[in-house]
Amino acid sequence: MSVDREIINQAIPIEKIRYDDRGLVPAIVQDYLDGTILMMAWMNRESLQKTLETKETWFWSRSRAELWHKGATSGHIQKVRSLRYDCDSDALLISVEQIGDVACHTGERSCFHRVDGQVVPPPADTLSQLFAVICDRRDYPTEDSYTCKLLNSGDNKILKKLGEETAEVVMACKDDDSSAIASEVADLLYHTLVALAHHKVELKDVYRKLQERRR
Ligand SMILES: N=c1c2ncn([C@@H]3O[C@H](COP(=O)(O)OP(=O)(O)OP(=O)(O)O)[C@@H](O)[C@H]3O)c2ncn1[C@@H]1O[C@H](COP(=O)(O)O)[C@@H](O)[C@H]1O
pLDDT digits (tens, 9 = 90+) for 55-91: 999 999 999 999 999 988 887 889 998 898 888 889 9
What is the 2 CA–ligand 1 centroid distance (Å)? 34
Structurally, at CATH architecture level, domain 125-213 sits in: Orthogonal Bundle (1.10)
pLDDT digits (tens, 9 = 90+) for 16-25: 899 999 999 9
Mutating to test ligand 1, I would choose from 131, 135, 136, 146 the residue with most ligand atoms within 8 A of its C-beta, which is 146
Q: Is the pLDDT of residue 123 over 80?
A: no
Pairwise CA distance, residues 29 & 111, whole Å:
13
- For residue 136 and ligand 1, the question of a CB distance below 6 A is answered with no
Domain spans, the chain = 3-116, 125-213
Tell whether domain 3-116 is in CATH 3.20.20.30: no
